Structure 1
Amino acid sequence: MDKNKFSKTMDMHKGSKTIVNPATTVNSMATNIKRVYHNDKTSTYWLPKDDEEQMRLTGQHYAFKSLYGGNVLPSVIDALDFQKGINILDVGCGSGIWVMDMVQEYPNCAYHGCDIDDITYKKIRVNQFTFSKGNVIKGLPYEDNTFDFVHMRFFVAALREENEWPTALGEVIRVTKPGGMIQVSDFDLKVPKDTTSLLYKAVLGYHHICKSRGQNPNIGAELETMLSKHSNIKIVQSDYRTCDMSSGTSTAKMFIWDSLEGVKSAKDVLGPMLGVNTPEELEDFLIRYRHDLETKESPVSFNSVAVQKLPVV
């Protein structure tokens, strides 16, 4: 992969007009575009799959990376030889931003990505990357014990808690080699204490959307509990972190940008709950929402858990 091309692409994704400069007006991206969604009728995923959403997820990637100080938890780095080269799977890879970022740090690894639609970024060829279309709850298209490291994150809006999460985690464990590592990360969408903030109103809306689909908006807080039900793995690290978006840090500013774009992405289902039904109403809400995120305590929380698959006895 050409590093110059990669750098230009990353600059485009996280350029000063979208992420690095959060002072950009909320009108810098259109609020009246028609969104494009996945067409898998069995999926409960309710966010779009269009270019605007991939841009948001790219920004979210860098915000999450900034919060955690990297793409991989220390226990995983210690357990596997990334420098020499290992076999890696990114489940729900989306645009492939996590893989593209990882390739720059660990170019000797072989990367595989799987998602229900191929929306990976096509303008750059990553020689180390292979995409396969697949649905984790229908069975990943890989043999047992294939990967040294499996990465899975942000399925809060994609999986039902009762039956799909256990199935997905079982599949992730199945394709991991004995002794291999798994990292699962997700949101814990806590309802803010300040009931006057628009974040409070937005989070209540997200909770309603998730629960109406059988999803758990606080799934991040349940990761250890769900994973501990599998006897063939052991939890080696759990890292729960919160960013207060009103803190003024660079990480906080990136999460504010992500939060604003998230409302745009969810407008078709979230809008009516916020009293937002027109592009003009959305623009007005985003201005007020941004002000609240910057001036009132506005936490966003995640949990990231690393487990190791036990050797077969």
Structure 2
Amino acid sequence: MGGTQFSKITHIKKRSFSESRSKCEKSSSSSLHTKSSSNPSNMLLEIPNSSNNVLATQQPLTSEEIDRLQQLHYTWRWLWETNYSSPVEKLLQRKRNVRVLDVGCGPGVWTLEMASEYPNVEFYGVDTFESFPAEIKPANVFFYKTPFFVNLPFDSEFFDFIVIRNLNSVLTVQDWSENVFKELVRVLKPGGIVESQESVWNVNTMGPSFNLLANTYNSMLESKNIDLAIAKRIPEFMKNTKCLTNIVELKKSHPLSSQEGGNPKLAESFQQIAYSGFKVLKPILLPQLRTNSKTYDNLVTNIRSEFARDQYSEVVLYRTFAQKVSVPF
């Protein structure tokens, strides 16, 4: 969330894909020594926390936040009418030897849905906190608790398709620019595809309660070098790896007011996501606002009526995907 302005999408010119053997790992390799094994349970390694990783300092997810993340997933899927936008349908319909990674899997809803739809594919979900199901899950699903982008606990060139979703309020600009796609490229097979999914909220016309909460949240994140509008820079970060090509950026927007057209139920769902988000953020924002608990609760309650009156605010959803080349360009 946050009061950031939109900018026009920059379309990256596509480059041709080379079929020669991969050399990208030379430019994106890490010091991780992985275990080669056909048994997925042996792929997990012990990885130390990193003081540079903002996720290492976060608190465990509450049940309310888990519910919000689930609603976020269903709302994204509702607007896009699909769980992914990359051209990987034929790949996922293959009978064997296809692996998919969900980075920032949260409670694992996307992973579980995809695993049910494509039972012959192995799906792996990683997150910093264990909000995903530990035991009751399909046989083709493997969840791991691990810090992001210190080193992912997988062999190089292990995955055919990688999705990274809804981490704009978690990872720093430095994480995105220096670590994220470098590490994803390492574990992605040549010819494999990585897809990013992030949002930007255009809420500059909201009322005083929302603006106070949003500006306080934005200021706190900016002090940690976290950019809520990072979605606009994803093509740049992908291109800078020198190993990702055929970069495609898609976007869909939806008004936050049911009076501004669009689907009223979708608008209501996005409103609920914002409302629940500020409720979850109370322990963090309350000290920043230097107010009491009752006043904070009233601010959160007020934003419902502000959504009803607002005429111009919207959320823009971005999906950006790219293909790994065999030779860096």
User: TM-score interval w.r.t. the shorter chain?
Assistant: 0.7 to 0.9
- Write the letter of the residue equivalent to 2:78: S
Which residue is 1:259 aligned to? 274
- Secondary structure class of the residue paired with 2:232: helix
How far has the Cα of 1:154 moved from its partner? Answer: 1.3
Indicate if the aligned counterparts of 1:179 and 1:310 stay in contact, CA closer than 8 A: yes
Indicate if the aligned counterparts of 1:114 and 1:134 stay in contact, CA closer than 8 A: yes
Indicate if the aligned counterparts of 1:206 and 1:217 stay in contact, CA closer than 8 A: no
Which residue is 2:223 aligned to? 212
Give the Cα–Cα distance (whole angstroms) in 2 for the partners of residues 158 and 254 of structure 1.
22
How far has the Cα of 1:188 moved from its partner? Answer: 2.2
Q: Which moved more, 1:140-149 or 1:120-129?
A: 120-129
Which residue is 1:269 aligned to? 284
- Secondary structure class of the residue paired with 2:326: coil
Q: Does 1:294 align with 2:302?
A: no
Which TM-score applies when normalising by structure 2?
A: 0.75
Indicate if the aligned counterparts of 2:209 and 2:300 stay in contact, CA closer than 8 A: no
Q: Does 1:240 align with 2:282?
A: no
Give the Cα–Cα distance (whole angstroms) in 2 for the partners of residues 125 and 196 of structure 1.
43
- Write the letter of the residue equivalent to 1:121: P
Give the Cα–Cα distance (whole angstroms) in 2 for the partners of residues 257 and 138 of structure 1.
33
How far has the Cα of 1:186 moved from its partner? Answer: 1.4
Indicate if the aligned counterparts of 2:168 and 2:198 stay in contact, CA closer than 8 A: yes
- Secondary structure class of the residue paired with 1:228: helix
Give the Cα–Cα distance (whole angstroms) in 2 for the partners of residues 203 and 285 of structure 1.
11
Which residue is 2:34 aligned to? none
Q: Does 1:67 align with 2:79?
A: yes
- Secondary structure class of the residue paired with 1:215: coil
Give the Cα–Cα distance (whole angstroms) in 2 for the partners of residues 244 and 128 of structure 1.
38
How far has the Cα of 1:272 moved from its partner? Answer: 4.5
Q: Relative contact order (C-alpha < 8 Å, sep 6+): which is higher?
A: 2
Distance of aligned partners of 1:162 and 1:129 in 2 relative to their CA distance in 1, 3 Å threshold: same
- Write the letter of the residue equivalent to 1:194: T
Counterparts of residues 68-87 of structure 1 (less than 5 Å):
68-73=80-85, 75-77=86-88, 80-85=90-95, 86-87=98-99
| Structure 1 alignment gaps of length 5 or more | 1-39
Give RMSD over aligned pairs. 2.4
Which residue is 2:183 aligned to? 171
Which TM-score applies when normalising by structure 1?
A: 0.79
Give the Cα–Cα distance (whole angstroms) in 1 for the partners of residues 274 and 227 of structure 2.
19
How far has the Cα of 1:307 moved from its partner? Answer: 0.6
- Secondary structure class of the residue paired with 1:302: strand
Q: Does 1:182 align with 2:188?
A: no
Q: Does 1:119 align with 2:131?
A: yes
Following superposition, which runs of at least 4 residues in structure 1 exceed 6 angstroms of deviation? none
Which residue is 1:104 aligned to? 116
Distance of aligned partners of 1:196 and 1:132 in 2 relative to their CA distance in 1, 3 Å threshold: closer
- Write the letter of the residue equivalent to 1:82: L
Which residue is 2:158 aligned to? 146
Indicate if the aligned counterparts of 2:50 and 2:150 stay in contact, CA closer than 8 A: no
- Write the letter of the residue equivalent to 2:210: L
How far has the Cα of 1:270 moved from its partner? Answer: 2.2
Give the number of aligned pairs.
271
How big is each residue's C-alpha offset from its partner over 1:245-279, in whole Å with a ceiling of 9 and x where there is no partner? 1125222111111111100111122235556531x
